[in-house]
């Protein structure tokens, strides 16, 4: 179980069904809803939308504590618990941190740093990478790494793969593969198009594979010593890291994924005062990242990051304008033509999984002339993920997403490096370990094929 609906709490308002992009929620109005697990993609949008809850004040301490225990939620939590909820893996994280034989490594996705402060009273969208690193260090992790780094590596692998497909006659259009809910949707509904999916793993999984191989070597450890934790805005990441194929490091690449909300609970549970935390850095070398890695958190960001590097891969020249605004946006399906030397690269961005079926059908009908398509399941990409801080009022949702999105682009603009291939950490990885993008070792560790139903 990654996402579930508590039949004892659900009031049957069916607001969750309205936002489910996979049409997986079933039930009559006014009656408890169920999730069709054959259709569910575990995106957690139902979790964000749900308004039926149990609380101490309304239902009493005994009923509340019973639900909290069933979900493995820390004893210190006192907030309302909603009918739609994701798995909580904090017990596994705590056990690993307490085990002296485990070398604990944590990575944080780009969207976490523009949202977690909201659970501590910060204004919507406040950018907090320094406090985030400081909090993780005080929790007790041995290494504090950043998913923005493997996001940069993803661009090197996926960008190289795209250039090869375009120039050497590969399967086109190529779809991005970093959103696990989108991958699951494709497997459930369109397995025949699997060859159109990029073979590059998501940043979470690429990070996990690197941390248990090259990272382990740097620290004088083996992959068996490493316990790898990821903090994600996405509920489906817990499913992704458990996929049977995600073990190319020789071990489970990522041992456990927790959400932004889970991390906020853990920080509070350990008595860490968020407001007084200093600004600290992520650990090196896997804490270095560029603006391209940062914008993975917003819809269109993966596409823009790929174009910043892809332009130089094809032409040998820096992209004239690093801000690729034609692929930015917040809704529906948008297309753009990007001039890269003599090549006119035709790209598309799908925002929200409900918009992907017409795109796939057009592709299958031969009426879609594109080279590269980004798909993000959640309404505005990872900043609006199912594991982000819960917004109780619908009116707050648009404001929060806009603030998180803007903070992401501000962070991108302020970073000294804004293209993945310029990262010294990425260069070190390839110079000392992988040799080059799409090398034999890179393919073994950082690419995959999925278990189609």
Q: Which residues are catalytic?
A: 158, 161, 178, 198, 237, 240, 245, 382
For the chain, how big is the Rg over CA atoms in Å? Answer: 21
Compute the half-sphere exposure of residue 203: CA atoms within 13 Å on the CB side of its CA. Answer: 34
Compute the half-sphere exposure of residue 234: CA atoms within 13 Å on the CB side of its CA. Answer: 33
**Closest Cα to residue 119, out of 389, 392, 397?**
389
**Closest Cα to residue 52, out of 2, 118, 1, 7?**
7
Interior/surface letters 3-36, b for 16+ CB within 10 angstroms, e for the rest: bbbbeebbebbbbbbebbbbebbebeeeebbebe
- Taking a C-beta distance cutoff of 8 angstroms, is the pair 188, 194 a contact? no
Strand 332-340 and strand 343-351: the pairing is antiparallel
How far is it, in rounded angstroms, from Cα 96 to Cα 293?
Answer: 28
For helices 129-139 and 260-269, give the axis angle rounded to 10 degrees: 60
CA-to-CA separations, 430 to 122, 144, 210, 387, in angstroms, rounded: 39, 21, 11, 32
């Amino acid at each position: 179980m990654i996402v579930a609906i508590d039949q004892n709490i659900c009031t049957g308002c069916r607001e969750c069904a309205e936002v489910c992009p996979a049409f997986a929620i079933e039930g009559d109005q006014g009656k408890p809803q169920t999730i069709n697990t054959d259709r569910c993609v575990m995106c957690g949008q139902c979790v964000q939308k749900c308004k039926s809850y149990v609380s101490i004040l309304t239902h009493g301490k005994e009923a509340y504590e019973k639900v909290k225990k069933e979900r493995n939620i820390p004893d210190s939590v006192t907030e309302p618990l909603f009918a739609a909820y994701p798995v909580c893996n904090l017990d596994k994280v705590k056990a690993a941190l307490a085990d002296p034989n485990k070398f604990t490594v944590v990575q944080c996705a780009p969207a976490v740093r523009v949202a977690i402060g909201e659970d501590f009273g910060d204004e919507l969208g406040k950018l907090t990478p320094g406090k985030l690193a400081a909090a993780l260090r005080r929790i007790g992790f041995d290494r504090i790494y950043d998913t923005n780094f493997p996001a940069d590596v993803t661009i090197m692998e996926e960008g190289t793969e795209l250039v090869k497909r375009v120039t050497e006659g590969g399967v086109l259009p190529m779809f991005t593969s970093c959103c696990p809910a989108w991958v699951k949707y494709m497997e459930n509904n369109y397995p025949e198009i699997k060859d159109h999916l990029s073979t590059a793993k998501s940043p979470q999984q690429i990070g996990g594979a690197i941390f248990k191989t090259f990272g382990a070597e740097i620290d004088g450890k083996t992959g068996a010593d490493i316990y790898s934790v990821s903090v994600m805005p996405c509920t489906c990441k817990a499913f992704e890291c458990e996929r049977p194929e995600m073990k190319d490091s020789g071990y489970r690449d990522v041992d456990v994924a927790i959400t932004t909300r889970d991390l906020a609970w853990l920080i509070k549970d350990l008595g860490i005062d968020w407001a007084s935390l200093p600004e600290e850095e992520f650990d090196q070398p896997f804490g270095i990242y560029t603006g391209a890695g940062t914008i993975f958190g917003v819809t269109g960001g993966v596409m823009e990051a790929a174009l910043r590097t892809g332009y130089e891969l094809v032409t040998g020249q820096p992209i004239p304008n690093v801000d690729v605004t034609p692929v930015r946006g917040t809704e529906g399906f948008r297309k753009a033509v990007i001039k890269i030397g003599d090549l006119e690269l035709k790209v598309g961005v799908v925002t929200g999984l409900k918009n992907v079926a017409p795109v796939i059908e057009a592709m299958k009908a031969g009426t879609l002339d594109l080279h590269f398509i980004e798909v993000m399941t959640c309404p505005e990409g990872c900043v609006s993920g199912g594991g982000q801080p819960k917004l109780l009022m619908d009116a707050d949702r648009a404001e929060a997403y806009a603030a998180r999105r803007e903070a992401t682009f501000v962070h991108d603009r302020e970073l000294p490096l804004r293209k993945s291939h310029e990262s010294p950490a990425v260069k070190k990885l390839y110079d000392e370990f992988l040799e080059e993008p799409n090398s034999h070792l890179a393919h073994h560790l950082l690419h995959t094929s999925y278990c189609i139903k």
